[in-house]
Structure 1
Amino acid sequence: MSDYEAVETVVKSFVAGLHEGDVDRVQAQFAKDAVVNGYYEGECIRQDLHGYIGVVKRNPPPALLDEEVDMHLTAVEVSGSVAMVRVCYLYEALFYTDHLSLLKIDGGWKIVSRLFHHD
């Protein structure tokens, strides 16, 4: 698998894990020291991975509500051992745009930063 394909796989697995409420799958896509920042309903959110995973655990998974996965990778750029991805997806009736930074760590790709916004 190419690095480009591996990066896409990580991002798709992250969004699928959110959709299914699979906290372990979501967490596995992130580096342990990852950060999550963005705006939720107008409030600036700044969290470490532990805080973000707590939010994921509290929210009902869209799959239980029979919502379909609606995800689009709108930009993927890989430069050696770093990558940037912009992904848009529907989650809990909100349309999110995430800017994800990934690093190749110990031979595998991990999200180290998630910047998000929703409409």
Structure 2
Amino acid sequence: MNNEQQIQQVITTYFECMYESSAQKAHDAFHPNAMITGYIGGGLQESTVGQFAELVASHQPSPKEKGEDAILDVLSIEIAGDTAVARVRDAYLGLMFLDTLSLIKVEGQWQIYNKLFHVEGEVNN
């Protein structure tokens, strides 16, 4: 697999962590030092990977089990050596997010090092 395909795979794992309420997939997608940051509900939210993994695991039944649509659109991937930036639009918990994911390649494996999220609004059904 080339770098772009590997990054696509990490993005899929990231989305699956939320869609399947999987703490393990969150830890698989993110570097241990990663931060998840953005504005929601009028306030700045900052989470460690552990906190984010707990959050996604707490949503039971999972969006997948509830039969919610899986909405993930990879808008762009830019690679510079062992770093990359991806913009993705995804639906989670009834909201549409625009995420900026910074990735690094460590020991041959791509991982999300930072996630900045923006809530675009509610998902239109």
TM-score range (shorter-chain normalised) is over 0.9
Q: Distance in 2 between matches of 1:27 and 1:59?
A: 16
Deviation at 1:17, TM superposition (A): 2.1
* 1:35 and 1:47 in contact (8 A); partners too: yes
What is the Cα deviation at residue 59 of structure 1?
2.0
- Point out where structure 1 has 5 or more consecutive residues left out of the alignment: none
**Which residue of the partner structure matches residue 27 of structure 1?**
27
Identity %: 24
- The CA deviation at 1:19 is 0.4
Matched residues in 2 for 1:47 and 1:19: separation?
18
Q: Please tell me whether the aligned partners of residues 16 and 69 of structure 1 are also in contact (alpha carbons under 8 angstroms).
A: no
Superposed CA RMSD:
1.0
Q: Which runs of 4+ in 1 moved over 2 A?
A: none
- In the comparison of the two structures, how many residue pairs are matched? 119
Aligned residue number for residue 115 of structure 1: 116
Give, as a single letter, the amino acid of the residue that structure 2 aligns with 1:56.
Answer: V
What are the residue-to-residue correspondences of 1:39-118 with 2, within 5 Å? 39-60=39-60, 61-118=62-119
Task: Tell me if 1:4 matches 2:33.
Answer: no
Secondary structure of 1:4's counterpart equals helix
Match of 1:16 in 2: 16
The structure with the largest helix share of the pair is: 1
How far is the alpha carbon of 1:75 from its aligned partner?
A: 1.1
State the TM-score, normalized to the length of structure 2: 0.90
Q: Residues 78-103 of structure 1: CA distance to partner in whole angstroms, max 9, x if unpaired?
A: 11100000000111110011100000
Q: Structure 2: which 5+ runs fail to align?
A: none
Whether the 8 Å CA contact 1:20–1:63 is kept in 2: the answer is yes
Q: Which has the higher mean CA deviation after the structures are superposed, 7-16 or 48-57? A: 48-57
